[in-house]
C-alpha cells in the first residue's frame, strides 16, 4: 500500500497557557509505503483490556528528514495526524512507527508497576480503575488516569502526555512496596491516609 502525506517537525516549544504546550511545527511532504496497518485487542487478567495500534510507514527520506530525526513529531495517515513513537533508520528510508496511543502508554506503566509488585511482594495484585465493590487482594497497587496534557501543532493536538494516580495499599505502615513505587521515574508523592485499617499512599506518575 502506497503512502503520501505530511510529516511534522518541531522547531521550538512555547507554553501558551498553564499545562498547554504548543510547538512551532514545519510540515514537509513525503511519500513511501505502508508496512503495517492494524488494530489488535489484547486480553489479560486485568479488569480492563488493552487496545494495541500497529501502524508503520516506510518513508523515502531527504537530507532535511535525516538531519532532524529528533525533531520528528507526527505523520499524516488516513486523514489524521499520528504521533511518531519510534524511528528506524534504513537509508534511504526511515521506518516510522505510528500510534503512541494512551493504551500503549498505560501498558508500559502497567508493566513497570507489575514488576515492582513482584520484586517487593512476590505478588501481582495490580488493578486499573477497578469498579466499585471489586474485591481487592492486599498488598496491592490501584491506579487510574487522572488527566491528559495536550501538545498542539497547527491548530490541532498531535500528542498527549498522561498523568496517573497510583495508590499503594498495604497493612504495613513501612511498606516496602510504597518505597519501591516512590523511586520510579517521573513519580511524585501526593498524600497518605488510613482507611479500613489499611495504609494508603498516593502518588502521581507522569508518562
Q: What percent of the chain has pLDDT over 90?
A: 55
pTM greater than 0.75 (yes/no): no
How far out from the chain centre does Cα 145 lie?
11
- Output the pLDDT for position 156: 64
Q: Could you report the per-residue pLDDT of 115-143, keeping only the tens digit for each?
A: 999 999 999 999 999 988 899 999 999 99
Query: CA 20, 101, 113 angle in degrees (round to 5)?
Result: 95
Q: How far apart are the first and last CA of the chain?
A: 33
Q: Could you report the per-residue pLDDT of 5-36, keeping only the tens digit for each?
A: 999 998 876 655 554 556 678 899 999 999 87
Q: What sign has the CA pseudo-torsion 71, 75, 81, 87?
A: negative
How far out from the chain centre does Cα 163 lie?
9
> What are the grid coordinates assigned to 26, written together?
514545519
d(CA 112, CA 50): 16
- Output the pLDDT for position 73: 86
> What are the grid coordinates assigned to 81, written together?
495526524
- Output the pLDDT for position 47: 40
- Output the pLDDT for position 33: 95
- Parts of the chain with a pLDDT under 50: 19, 39-53
Amino acid at each position: 500500500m502506497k503512502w503520501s502525506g505530511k510529516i511534522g517537525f518541531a522547531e521550538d516549544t512555547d507554553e501558551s497557557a498553564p499545562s498547554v504546550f504548543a510547538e512551532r511545527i514545519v510540515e514537509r511532504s513525503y511519500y513511501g509505503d505502508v508496512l503495517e496497518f492494524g488494530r489488535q485487542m489484547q486480553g489479560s487478567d486485568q479488569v480492563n483490556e488493552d487496545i494495541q495500534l500497529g501502524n508503520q510507514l516506510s518513508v523515502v527520506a531527504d537530507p532535511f528528514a535525516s538531519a532532524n530525526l529528533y525533531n520528528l513529531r507526527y505523520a499524516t495517515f488516513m486523514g489524521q495526524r499520528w504521533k511518531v513513537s519510534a524511528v528506524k533508520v534504513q537509508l534511504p528510508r526511515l521506518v516510522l512507527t505510528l500510534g503512541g496511543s494512551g493504551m500503549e502508554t498505560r501498558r508500559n506503566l502497567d508493566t513497570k508497576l507489575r514488576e515492582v509488585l513482584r520484586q517487593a511482594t512476590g505478588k501481582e495484585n495490580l488493578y486499573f480503575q477497578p469498579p466499585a465493590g471489586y474485591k481487592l487482594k492486599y498488598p496491592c497497587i490501584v491506579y487510574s488516569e487522572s488527566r491528559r496534557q495536550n501538545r498542539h501543532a497547527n491548530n490541532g493536538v498531535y500528542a498527549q502526555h498522561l498523568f496517573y494516580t497510583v495508590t499503594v495499599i498495604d497493612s504495613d505502615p513501612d511498606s516496602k512496596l510504597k518505597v519501591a513505587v516512590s523511586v520510579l521515574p517521573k513519580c511524585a508523592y501526593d498524600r497518605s491516609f488510613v482507611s479500613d485499617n489499611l495504609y494508603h499512599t498516593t502518588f502521581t506518575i507522569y508518562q
